[in-house]
Structure formats: structure tokens, C-alpha cells
């Protein structure tokens, strides 16, 4: 079977992501921004697929595009659109922003021009069919499960957020 | 050139893989078209069946005027919808209003890429099949939310808010039930489960039982959680609060009309078929015929392969019986002839399905469709039986009943699956 990871798809998905990302910050209407963000996230899951990581791509769609963005929209829909149209969209930190963007851009250019020695030669090939198993092994494997602790710590962080939301929302607990 | 094309087309024949896995583009396109057409026909048939069955449950006749027993009613409805004026509210968000129905339809149809109608009768087999189905079908809520918001009107907005809250809540319980099935697939020699839809059915075949009976009653409880959550996911009665007509006119699609509304209709019914096929694949053995391991041998194979043809011949005979019972008044002549003609068509399809090369190949598709059809009938039955839930009751069922049950179920299934091999060893030593 011929590989799907052709440059054409990479450029297509990357362009979709970049356009989506730009639209997120330029659109005045918050719902349009959220829709653009969803497009970017879906294109990102396509990039995961090209990296032979179908499990990560599926989780990306379920969690971000299907779950979190729905809750985003849920909140945004209750904001008055007429008021947001008149709000100033950019604040006074544009100088810092330009510096940060310049530094990041410089980093990208440096990596692109001189970074060949930083990355290993040849391409990594992972068996697509064992991706789910590979993720599980890295998380919970008897010998290879090195990321279990950090994964569980991350879920603790979410628990803190949930408790915080309950405390904020309820007057009497 | 032509020879090369014919060779390319023929190279897939007799393959034991899906066209997607074999990488044959021609057959992929053929399968996609077949699934698309089949699904559209199924939605049209559901439209008629739902009205007829609901009517009979309520001791009414239902559609009787257009065609014999209202058989042509869905076609008349479709024509009406296509010819209706397409209204867009002046204050609506034009772009989002325009996109929303397409998001819903795309999400509802894309999931059928991985639905396994048979070991080779699927468009493709992904190794994240079930994740893909859950993920893509959860995208349809985006379309509903944006549709409700873009209408810029109160009822649609309330409908959209209700629907997003409902779908997000029930997705959790649904996911837990699905994970318990995936745990069951790992009970093989390698101890490795699978997420592939075809793999899940093959695991049921290898383990010799449908997962609804596995670890009785754990599989059954998981199936019930899913069966309740899937009704809520598709916004159907008794969980049809997003479009509760007595409170919200029509909920999120109040402002939609004509073709755009029919897209929502199409998406709702194909989403119902999609979640039913998930349930069938995960718990009811997918394309497997009843007792594939118990009643084996060529004789039983022959008997079960006669079922598809027999079903169609039976339906044709039913049409003839009703044609004979039609009033003998001259005004009913066209209707009588039409019904008899429909019976002839059904019986002919049945006869074609009796032919050996055909019946060997469509057995799996028939059993899968028959199981899904049972679920579709259940959907109509729920609608005819249960009153609508109140919204707080809906949230209570989702978060306080289904979610804890699902969590306990998951822990119990994991424990049982972990302990099962050693218990079997122990039993072998003791007995």
C-alpha cells in the first residue's frame, strides 16, 4: 500500500491550520473564531495521522474538536455579539508581542537553515497498527511505563480545576 | 489501457480485505456510493415506517392517500421539501447559518466509512475504528449548536444549549460502556485488544459469544447504558428536548426550511443508524448470523443463507395479501395494481437473493442490517411509548445513574477480565 504521507497532504493540512489559526485572532465575532479554531484542530489531527499516530489523532478529534470546543461554543454563545463587535481587539502589549514573534520566527529560520545536524538522519517509521498499544505501553507498561506518573499528575490538575469550578459556582457547599 | 483498468478492477475480486485496506480506489468509490445510496433509501424507508408504525400504535391509519398504504408518501414529502421556499432570517449569521446543516450531514455520513457490514463489506477498516466513530459522530453537536446560534432567535438558541449539554453529558456514559467492550476484546492468547470495528466482531466470533452475554450480567449492563445513551445522543424521544415541539416549536432547526431542513432530517436518521450500528457491532455480534459456532456445518449454513431471500419473498407475499384485501371499488384499481406490482418487485428481489452466488455474499450484510433494523424499530417504539423527560430529570439520569453505573461496570469488567484466565486455570486444576 502506498503511503499517504505525501508532501501535498502535509502542505494542505499545514495551510489549513495556519489559516485557521490566523482567523482565530483576526475575526471579531467570537463564534467565528471558535469555528476557525475547530478547523485548525481537525487539520492538526490530520497531521497526527500523517505521523502514523492514529490513536492520538482520534483522541484529538474526540477531546478537542468534539468535547472542549463544544463547551467553548456553549459559553461564547451567551456573550452579546453586538458588544464584542465594538470592543478594541488588540491591547497595548503589541511591542512585547512583536519581539516574541520575532524571536520565535528567528528560531524557526535558524532551525530550518542550520538544524540538519540537530535531527537524526533518515525518517522514523512506526508501525501504524501498534500505535494504540505503543501509547498504552509508554503510559502503563511494566518496564517501559515511564510517563504514568506525569500523566496522573496532569489528571490531578484537571481535578483541581473541577473543584475550583464547583467552589466558584456554589455559594453554599 | 482498458485491459489495465479491467485488471485493476478484477484484482480486488476474491480478496479477503476491505477495499480500503487493499488500497483499491475503484472499489472504494463503488462501496462509498453503495453505502450512500443504501443509507438514503434507508432514511426514506424510515420516514414512511415511522409514520406508519406510530400511527398503528396510536390506533390511527397514518398516511394512506399517496400510493397504496401511503407507500409513495416519502417521495411526495421529499419533492415538497425540495420545492419549498428556502428562507434565511434577516438577522441570521449568514455564513454560519449556511455551514451548520453541512457539518451535521458530513458528521453523520462520514462515520459509515468504518461501519462493518461484513468481514470484507466495509469501506475501510481503521485500527482506531470505534474511536473514529465516536469522535466524528460527536462533531455533529457542533453543527447543531452553530445552527441554533446562527438563527439569532430564542427558541433555536435554547434548543442548541439543551442539545450541547445533553450530548456532552451522555457521551461520557457512552464512552465508559464502549471501553468495557474494548477490555473484553483483549481476552485472547496475546492479551491484546483492538479498537477496529472488524476486529471487535472477530473477537466475538473467536470467543464464541456476543459481548452482550459476556461476563453475564456485565455485558448486558454495558449494553443497556449504551442503548439509553445513544437515544439521548441522537436527540430522539424520550430525550428529544432540543426539539421539544410543545416548548420550543422545533428547537435548533426552527428557522430552517426546505432543503436545509431536510439535511437536518437526513442527518438525524443517519446518525440513528450509525449509533445503532455501533451497538450492533460492539454487543450483538455485527455481521455474524445467529449461533455461528453452535449450529455449524454446511446444512445450517444453507438454512441461514436462505433467510435474506425468504424475508423479501415474505414481504412480497404480504403485499399480495393486502392487495387482495383492497376494496373492490373501481377507484381503488390503480392502488391495488400498484401494491401488487410492489409485491412482485419485492418477490423478484427475494428470488435473486436465493441464487447461490448472491446468497453466499450478502448473508453478512443481511444479518447486520436486520439487527440495525431492530434498533430502528425500538427507536419508533420508544417514541410511541415514553413521555418526554424534563431537563433536570435528563441530567439526573445522565450524571447520577448512568455515569456511576458505567464507572462501576468498567472496574468490574477490568477485574473480571484480569482474573478470568487465572480463575480458569484454577478451575481446570480443581476439576
Q: Are A1 and A82 contained in the same domain?
A: yes
For residue A3, tell me if it sits in a domain: yes
Q: Are B420 and B325 contained in the same domain?
A: no
Q: What's the gap in Å between the CA of A17 and the closest CA on chain B?
A: 18
The predicted-structure confidence for B211-222, as pLDDT tens digits, reads as follows: 888 888 888 898
Q: Are B308 and B280 contained in the same domain?
A: no
Q: Where do runs of H (alpha helix) occur along A27-76?
A: 30-50, 54-60, 69-76
Q: Are B215 and B177 contained in the same domain?
A: yes
Q: Are A79 and A152 contained in the same domain?
A: no
Q: Are B312 and B399 contained in the same domain?
A: no
Range of the domain at B233: 2-288+360-430
SS3 state of residue A100:
helix
Q: Are B327 and B418 contained in the same domain?
A: no
Q: Are B182 and B314 contained in the same domain?
A: no
**Average pLDDT of span A82-86:** 69
Q: Are A136 and A60 contained in the same domain?
A: no
Q: What's the gap in Å between the CA of B190 and the closest CA on chain A?
A: 12
For residue B206, tell me if it sits in a domain: yes
For residue A49, tell me if it sits in a domain: yes
Q: Which one has a higher pLDDT value, B218 or B1?
A: B218
For residue A104, tell me if it sits in a domain: no
Chain B positions in Cβ-Cβ contact with residue A58 (cut-off 8 Å): 128, 131-132, 135
- How many residues would you count in chain A? 173
For residue B332, tell me if it sits in a domain: yes
Range of the domain at A51: 1-86
For residue A163, tell me if it sits in a domain: yes
Q: Are B313 and B385 contained in the same domain?
A: no
Q: What's the gap in Å between the CA of B82 and the closest CA on chain A?
A: 28
Q: Are B78 and B25 contained in the same domain?
A: yes
For residue B295, tell me if it sits in a domain: no
Does the distance separating the beta carbons of B168 and A71 come in below 8 Å? yes
Q: Are A143 and A67 contained in the same domain?
A: no
Average pLDDT score over chain B = 85
Chain B: residue nearest A67 by CA? B168
Point out the domain boundary residue: B354, B379, B395. B354
Alpha-carbon span B276 to B283, nearest angstrom: 11
- How many residues would you count in chain B? 431
Q: Is the pLDDT of residue A1 over 50?
A: no
Residue B46's alpha-carbon distances to A2, B41, B50, B73, B176, in angstroms, are 40, 8, 6, 12, 30
For residue B297, tell me if it sits in a domain: no
In contact, B110 and B268? CB cutoff 8 Å: no
Q: Are A70 and A138 contained in the same domain?
A: no
pLDDT band at B291 (very low <50, low <70, confident <90, very high): confident
For residue A14, tell me if it sits in a domain: yes
The predicted-structure confidence for A10-55, as pLDDT tens digits, reads as follows: 899 999 999 999 998 888 778 888 889 988 998 998 888 887 788 8
Does the distance separating the beta carbons of B93 and A66 come in below 8 Å? no
Point out the domain boundary residue: A16, A51, A86. A86
Chain B: residue nearest A71 by CA? B164
Q: Are A7 and A65 contained in the same domain?
A: yes
Pick A31's closest partner by Cβ from B21, B136, B149.
Answer: B149
Nearest to B361 by CA among B4, B65, B16: B16
For residue A97, tell me if it sits in a domain: no
Question: Which stretches of chain A sit within 8 Å of chain B by CB?
Answer: 1-2, 29, 31-32, 35, 38, 54-55, 57-59, 61-62, 65-67, 69-71, 73-74, 77, 128-129, 131-133
Does the distance separating the beta carbons of B96 and A69 come in below 8 Å? no
Pick A58's closest partner by Cβ from B131, B157, B161.
Answer: B131
* Number of domains present in the structure of chain B: 2
Chain B positions in Cβ-Cβ contact with residue A2 (cut-off 8 Å): 23
Q: Is the pLDDT of residue B231 over 60?
A: yes
pLDDT band at A152 (very low <50, low <70, confident <90, very high): confident
**Interface size between A and B, measured as CB pairs under 8 A:** 81
* Number of domains present in the structure of chain A: 2
The predicted-structure confidence for B299-350, as pLDDT tens digits, reads as follows: 888 888 888 888 889 999 988 888 888 888 888 888 888 888 889 999 998 8
Q: Is the pLDDT of residue A120 over 70?
A: no
Half-sphere exposure of A46 (CA within 13 A, CB side): 20
Q: Is the pLDDT of residue A90 over 70?
A: no
For residue A76, tell me if it sits in a domain: yes
Lowest mean pLDDT among B168-172, B199-203, B419-423: B419-423
Residue A103 burial class via C-beta count within 10 angstroms: exposed 0-12, middle 13-18, buried 19 and up: exposed
For residue B11, tell me if it sits in a domain: yes
Chain A: residue nearest B153 by CA? A77
Nearest to B309 by CA among B360, B354, B355, B347: B354
Does the distance separating the beta carbons of B127 and A132 come in below 8 Å? yes
Residues 6+ apart with CB under 8 A from A89: A28
DSSP E strands in B143-247: the ranges are none
In contact, B308 and B362? CB cutoff 8 Å: yes
Q: What is the CATH number of the domain that holds A15?
A: 1.20.120.1200
**Average pLDDT of span B51-73:** 86
Q: Are A81 and A156 contained in the same domain?
A: no
User: pTM score, two decimals?
Assistant: 0.86
Q: Are B183 and B316 contained in the same domain?
A: no
Does the distance separating the beta carbons of A132 and B142 come in below 8 Å? no
Q: Which one has a higher pLDDT value, B225 or B153?
A: B225
For residue B192, tell me if it sits in a domain: yes
Does the distance separating the beta carbons of A31 and B93 come in below 8 Å? yes
Q: Are A58 and A138 contained in the same domain?
A: no
The predicted-structure confidence for B40-54, as pLDDT tens digits, reads as follows: 889 988 989 999 999
Pick B168's closest partner by Cβ from A35, A67, A77.
Answer: A67
Q: Are B148 and B272 contained in the same domain?
A: yes
Q: Are B252 and B135 contained in the same domain?
A: yes
Chain A positions in Cβ-Cβ contact with residue B161 (cut-off 8 Å): 74, 77
Alpha-carbon span A52 to A125, nearest angstrom: 8
Q: Are B109 and B71 contained in the same domain?
A: yes
Amino acid at each position: 500500500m502506498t503511503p499517504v504521507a505525501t508532501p501535498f497532504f502535509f502542505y494542505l493540512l499545514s495551510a489549513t491550520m495556519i489559516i485557521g489559526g490566523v482567523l482565530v485572532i483576526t475575526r471579531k465575532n467570537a463564534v467565528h473564531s471558535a469555528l476557525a479554531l475547530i478547523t485548525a484542530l481537525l487539520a492538526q489531527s490530520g497531521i497526527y495521522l500523517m505521523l502514523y499516530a492514529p490513536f492520538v489523532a482520534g483522541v484529538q478529534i474526540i477531546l478537542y474538536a468534539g468535547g472542549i470546543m463544544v463547551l467553548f461554543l456553549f459559553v461564547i454563545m451567551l456573550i452579546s455579539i453586538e458588544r464584542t463587535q465594538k470592543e478594541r481587539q488588540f491591547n497595548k502589549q503589541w511591542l512585547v508581542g512583536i519581539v516574541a514573534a520575532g524571536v520565535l520566527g528567528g528560531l524557526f529560520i535558524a532551525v530550518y537553515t542550520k538544524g540538519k545536524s540537530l535531527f537524526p538522519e533518515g525518517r522514523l517509521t512506526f508501525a501504524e497498527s501498534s500505535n494504540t498499544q505503543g501509547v498504552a505501553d509508554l503510559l502503563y507498561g511494566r518496564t517501559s511505563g515511564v510517563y504514568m506518573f506525569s500523566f496522573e499528575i496532569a489528571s490531578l490538575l484537571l481535578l483541581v480545576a473541577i473543584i475550583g469550578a464547583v467552589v466558584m459556582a456554589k455559594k453554599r457547599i | 489501457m482498458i485491459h489495465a483498468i479491467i485488471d485493476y478492477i478484477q484484482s480486488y475480486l476474491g480478496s479477503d480485505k476491505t477495499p480500503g485496506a487493499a488500497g483499491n480506489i475503484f472499489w472504494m468509490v463503488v462501496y462509498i456510493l453503495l453505502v450512500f445510496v443504501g443509507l438514503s433509501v434507508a432514511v426514506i424507508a424510515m420516514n414512511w415506517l415511522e409514520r406508519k408504525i406510530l400511527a398503528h400504535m396510536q390506533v390511527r391509519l397514518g398516511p394512506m392517500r399517496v400510493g397504496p398504504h401511503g407507500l409513495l408518501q416519502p417521495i411526495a414529502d421529499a419533492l415538497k421539501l425540495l420545492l419549498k421556499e428556502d428562507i434565511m432570517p434577516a438577522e441570521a449569521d449568514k455564513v454560519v447559518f449556511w455551514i451548520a446543516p453541512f457539518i451535521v450531514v458530513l458528521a453523520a455520513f462520514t462515520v459509515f466509512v468504518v461501519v462493518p457490514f461484513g468481514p470484507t463489506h466495509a469501506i475501510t477498516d481503521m485500527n482506531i475504528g470505534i474511536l473514529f466513530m465516536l469522535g466524528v459522530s460527536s462533531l455533529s453537536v457542533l453543527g447543531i449548536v452553530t445552527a441554533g446560534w446562527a438563527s439569532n432567535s430564542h427558541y433555536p438558541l435554547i434548543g442548541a444549549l439543551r442539545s450541547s449539554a445533553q450530548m456532552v453529558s451522555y457521551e461520557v456514559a457512552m464512552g465508559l460502556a464502549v471501553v468495557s467492550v474494548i477490555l473484553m476484546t483483549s481476552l485472547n492468547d496475546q492479551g491484546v485488544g483492538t479498537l477496529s470495528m472488524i476486529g471487535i466482531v472477530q473477537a466475538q466470533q473467536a470467543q464464541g459469544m456476543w459481548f452482550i452475554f459476556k461476563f453475564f450480567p456485565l455485558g448486558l449492563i454495558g449494553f443497556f447504558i449504551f442503548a439509553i445513551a445513544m437515544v439521548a445522543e441522537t436527540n430522539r424521544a424520550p430525550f428529544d428536548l432540543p426539539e421539544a415541539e410543545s416548548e420550543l416549536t422545533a428547537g435548533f432547526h426552527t428557522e430552517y426550511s426546505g432543503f436545509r431542513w431536510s439535511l437536518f432530517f437526513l442527518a438525524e436518521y443517519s446518525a440513528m443508524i450509525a449509533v445503532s450500528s455501533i451497538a450492533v457491532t460492539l454487543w450483538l455480534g455485527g455481521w455474524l448470523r445467529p449461533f455461528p459456532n453452535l449450529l455449524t456445518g454446511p446444512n445450517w449454513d444453507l438454512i441461514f443463507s436462505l433467510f435474506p431471500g425468504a424475508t423479501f419473498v415474505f414481504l412480497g407475499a404480504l403485499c399480495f395479501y393486502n392487495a387482495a384485501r383492497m376494496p373492490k371499488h373501481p377507484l381503488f384499481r390503480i392502488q391495488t395494481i400498484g401494491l401488487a406490482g410492489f409485491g412482485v418487485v419485492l418477490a423478484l428481489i427475494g428470488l435473486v437473493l436465493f441464487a447461490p452466488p448472491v446468497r453466499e455474499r450478502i448473508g453478512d450484510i443481511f444479518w447486520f442490517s436486520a439487527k440495525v433494523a431492530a434498533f430502528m424499530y425500538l427507536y419508533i417504539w420508544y417514541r410511541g411509548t415514553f413521555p418526554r423527560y424534563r431537563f433536570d430529570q435528563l441530567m439526573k439520569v445522565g450524571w447520577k445513574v448512568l455515569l456511576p453505573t458505567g464507572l462501576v461496570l468498567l472496574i468490574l469488567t477490568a477485574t473480571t477480565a484480569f482474573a478470568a484466565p487465572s480463575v480458569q486455570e484454577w478451575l481446570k486444576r480443581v476439576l
